[in-house]
Amino acid sequence: MLKQRMFSEIKTLKSEIASEIEAANDLKALDDVRVTALGKKGRITALMKTLGAMDPEERKTKGQELNALKDEIAALIEKQEAALKRQAMDERLASETQDVTLSPRSSEMGHIHPISQTVEELTAIFADMGFTVAEGPDIEDDYHNFTALNFPPGHPAREMQDTFFLPNDPEEDGERAHKLLRTHTSSVQIRHMQAHKPPHKIICFGRTYRSDYDMTHTPMFHQMEGLLIDKDIHMGHLKGCLMDFVRAFFEIDNLPVRLRPSFFPFVEPGAEMDIACSRKGGGLRLGGNPDGSVDGWMEILGCGMVHPNVLKNCGIDPDTYQGFAFGMGIERMAMLKYGIPDLRTFFESDVRWLRHYGFDPLERPNNATGVQKTT
């Protein structure tokens, strides 16, 4: 009799609690149901307590049934809890929307410095021609900055590149111990050729230093270096490469260029490249005249065929490999292209200057869009 009563009691209890669980429409209500069913004074707990008064046989079967009930109720609560949480999250997601398409507030947007912009443009152009970017240290030594580049100790060409010297490095000997701030990025040619096997096709950007200060010189400035070493390379490759480059950079298709002989110890022959310009009517205009004539020339970079001594210093046989190198001032390129009159202003960190001469960060040149602005 007792057996029968308990069985139907369990069944009723189960369906009652199950419907209470189903009716609980928030986590608080669900927790109340859990406490009244499974808590210390809960209904199932109360039934469990009656097991003690039963005979062992009955206690065993009832105990199993009650435990099963407990488990089933706990599982139902867990399921309902997960459903309620999911529902709460769905409601939050629906109400707390965020408009990620909000347009940027242009008045608060920063600007890209003309140096960075110019470096990006130079990279895009030379990357298109297959050059990769190499790097070298700002703190150089006499060997990499001068001697390996065929400036022997005491050579007058060193005088033209007076720089800042650092204390000797006790861990090195001779010229490698004489530390200095590099006067040009040409030292990266040496580092690259000594570390890699030819062929070489690299460009390099970086800060360079000289002990100078006036309207066209600052103690720190930026240079770009280029180096191409392969078999059967001649001066025609040099001229073609640099002509394509200046025309792409200044965005003038038929910009007249000329090579003028010049001296740099690490190239032979050495040259400076000039581009056509005109100062007629005040101001500076790049390019020739419509009839093909040229009013004047302006120097923009140094270049030449890499000197056999430099190749030998880097373990390259000059009878097998030849090549060319070129170097230019990045500020100078930016000043000419963007009409910036005073070199010193590049480093004054004046936000008004940057607002005027800087560039939209969303329009940086890259290999996909090229140098030209999209708007």
Binding site for ligand DAH (CB under 6 A): 184, 186, 225, 264, 267, 302-304, 325-327
Our CB check for ligand DAH shows the closer of 219 and 358 to be: 219
Closest distance of CB 129 from ligand DAH, Å: 16
Cβ-based nearer residue to ligand DAH, 205 or 264: 264
Please report how close the Cβ of residue 332 comes to ligand DAH at its closest, in angstroms.
11
Closer CB to ligand DAH, residue 42 or residue 302? 302
Shortest Cβ 272–ligand DAH spacing (Å): 8
Provide the minimum distance between the beta carbon of 141 and ligand DAH in the complex, in angstroms, as a whole number. 16
Q: What is the distance between the alpha carbons of residues 143 and 190, in angstroms, rounded to a whole number?
A: 10
Task: Taking each helix axis as running N to C, give the angle between helix 43-50 and helix 2-23, from 0 to 180 degrees, rounded to the nearest 10.
Answer: 160
Query: Residues with Cβ < 8 Å from 300, sequence gap 6 or more?
Result: 246, 273, 274, 275, 328, 332, 333, 336
For the bound state, the minimum distance from the C-beta of residue 279 to ligand DAH, rounded and expressed in Å, comes to 24
Give 249 or 264: the residue with its C-beta nearer to ligand DAH.
264
Q: For ligand DAH, give the closer residue by CB, 30 or 334.
A: 334
What minimum distance in Å lies between the beta carbon of 211 and ligand DAH? 14
Cβ at position 303, least distance to ligand DAH in Å: 5
Residue number with CB closer to ligand DAH (131 or 264): 264
Q: Tell the smallest beta-carbon distance from residue 106 to ligand DAH (Å).
A: 39
- Closest-CA residue to 111 (of 338, 344, 342, 367): 338
The minimum distance between CB 301 and ligand DAH, in angstroms, equals: 7
Residue number with CB closer to ligand DAH (287 or 318): 318
From 235, 225, 219, select the one nearest 205 (Cα to Cα). 225
The residue among 225 and 331 lying less far from ligand DAH, judged by its C-beta, is 225
User: Which is closer to ligand DAH, CB of 80 or CB of 322?
Assistant: 322
